[in-house]
A = this chain, B = another copy of it.
Amino acid sequence: MSVSVASPPESTSLLTALGAGLPPDALLTGDAERALHSRDAAPFGVAGRPAVVVLPETVEQVRHVVRTARALGVPVVPQGARTGLAGAANAVDGCVVLSLVRMDRVLEIDTANRLVRCEPGVVTADLAAAVARHGLCYPPDPASWETCTIGGNIATGAGGLCCVKYGVTADYVLGLTVVLADGEILRTGRRTVKGVAGYDLTRLFVGSEGTLGVIVEATLALRPSRPPELALLARFGSAADAGEAVAAIVRAGHTPSALELMDRTTTAAVAALGHPLLADDAGREAATLIVASDAPDAPERLAEMAGLCREAKALSVTVAADAAETRGVLDARRMVMPALTARAREVAGEAAAFIEDVAVPRDRLAALVDRIEEIAEEYGLYIATAGHAGDGNLHPAVVFDRSDPDAVRRAEEAYDAIMAAGLELGGTITGEHGVGVLKRDWLERELPARNLRLQQDIKRLLDPEGLLNPGKVLA
């Protein structure tokens, strides 16, 4: 263990105590490492400097860390891959950052019962690949799935593209092992498909963002392998028309495996990158829908949904005939992040992007898109909105210059204005990214007072000293 000279002297006893129960290379104390682990992928929001970053490899080591920190009254901030977008993994000053990334083993794949047991640091894509080798599928596919961890997915209640058909992370969590604030082990849930023995403690920890305990193991339900998808791309003259197509698809009883919307700005950005299906008349279309189906009768389903798009005044509809054409269609959605990166290169100064996450009842989707366009104009910001239309869950992305205090202020105000719009339309401030530090004040606007009080009571019950990821979810 090498204690950095930059560590404040008061942390020496903490480091010594932690080191007594951890491998020599499990403590990171250098300035750069502590800075790196001070925040997740949220571009603003409070973040402190950890006293130390620890990288335990076993449940016992996690217990040691939690107990040691508690004995010294030091906060513990659990972290996965720090891909979160709400600041839920941001450090607080002097805390122990408890990184779970070294606990990355798939412990068991039970094909007969379609479940997997794993440690929290497994990367989501690695888990998906591991079970795929057994003909099984772990569907949740958050955008960061190639780098984010299962523990983080569970802690934030992550979603993704295929949720519209296959549900969110929460729907797959059968049971958890959690290290509680007092270092004790809590086991929740079961290995059976169904079970109602006692209160549902498993769900209490899903989405709790490390504030109630540290998830050290998960038992997850799996599904049979997904059949191949077919997809279509439809272009519309207005968000309202695209919204009407989404509503018609839902009304007709379809269950697409993806139902994604890109607004005017996003469509233009992807078109500017040269996507062949959008390049020919970039700028004319005001919204793009991407619809996929992996149903056994996908060609018929897609043909019907194409018809509904045309009835909703689509300017054009391109239906993929095979896997290669489907990849081409889905590439348009995958190009959103590269398109934003390209946009960032155009920004002078220090480009940053925040990605919002509001969800509204499906029939308010077009209203939300229009409202976000107004907000972009009002605050003089570049806002590109894409998202999971089938779930009413949108991700407006703002690219701004963080070296410009005025731009930062406008971006922050727009962030708030978008949440306000979501709530006004009967929605929620977060569909799948979580509350973290960025939305904790807004949680108080969304939740009724009695609900919020119960949330606080539960936090107090499980973490009476308030040392587990303090300041996240609840202010």
The reply to whether the CB of A31 lies closer than 8 angstroms to some CB of chain B is no
The reply to whether the CB of A296 lies closer than 8 angstroms to some CB of chain B is yes
The reply to whether the CB of A427 lies closer than 8 angstroms to some CB of chain B is yes
- For A5, list chain B residues within 8 Å (CB): none
- For A195, list chain B residues within 8 Å (CB): 359, 428, 430-431
Known A-B contacts A156-B196, A296-B297; A255 and B224 likewise in contact (beta carbons under 8 Å): yes
Q: Is the CB of A430 within 8 A of B157?
A: no
Q: Is the CB of B194 within 8 A of A455?
A: no
Q: Is the CB of B363 within 8 A of A194?
A: no
The reply to whether the CB of A473 lies closer than 8 angstroms to some CB of chain B is yes
Roughly how many angstroms separate A159 CA and B196 CA in the complex, as a whole number?
10
Q: Is the CB of B461 within 8 A of A458?
A: yes
Interface mask (A431-475 → B, CB under 8 Å = 1, otherwise 0): 111110001000100111011101101110110000000000110
Q: Is the CB of A196 within 8 A of B434?
A: yes
Q: Is the CB of B204 within 8 A of A431?
A: no
The reply to whether the CB of A7 lies closer than 8 angstroms to some CB of chain B is no
- For A200, list chain B residues within 8 Å (CB): 170, 203-204, 206-207
Contact of A197 among B111, B180, B187, B443 (CB under 8 A): B443
Q: Is the CB of B428 within 8 A of A186?
A: no
Q: Is the CB of B198 within 8 A of A431?
A: no
Who on chain B is nearest to A393 by CB? B194
Chain A: number of interface residues, binned into ranges:
35 or more
Who on chain B is nearest to A164 by CB? B193
Q: Is the CB of A196 within 8 A of B250?
A: no
Roughly how many angstroms separate A201 CA and B191 CA in the complex, as a whole number?
23
Roughly how many angstroms separate A434 CA and B110 CA in the complex, as a whole number?
26
The reply to whether the CB of A426 lies closer than 8 angstroms to some CB of chain B is yes
- For A361, list chain B residues within 8 Å (CB): 110, 112-113, 191-192
Who on chain B is nearest to A255 by CB? B224
Who on chain B is nearest to A225 by CB? B253
Known A-B contacts A295-B296, A427-B192; A204 and B207 likewise in contact (beta carbons under 8 Å): no
Roughly how many angstroms separate A198 CA and B458 CA in the complex, as a whole number?
11
The reply to whether the CB of A163 lies closer than 8 angstroms to some CB of chain B is yes
A182-231 interface (Cβ within 8 A of B): 184-188, 190-201, 203-204, 206-208, 212, 224-225
Roughly how many angstroms separate A110 CA and B135 CA in the complex, as a whole number?
38
Roughly how many angstroms separate A111 CA and B247 CA in the complex, as a whole number?
10
Interface mask (A49-83 → B, CB under 8 Å = 1, otherwise 0): 00000000000000000000000000000000000
Using A200-B206, A201-B455 as known contacts, list a sample of 7 further A-B pairs with CB atoms less than 8 Å apart, ordered by residue number in A: A112-B251, A195-B431, A196-B431, A198-B446, A199-B204, A199-B459, A296-B296
Of the A-B pairs whose beta carbons lie under 8 Å apart in the complex, a sample of 17, sorted by A's number, is A113-B361, A163-B194, A188-B451, A190-B359, A192-B359, A192-B391, A192-B428, A193-B390, A194-B388, A194-B428, A195-B428, A196-B434, A197-B439, A197-B443, A198-B455, A199-B212, A458-B458
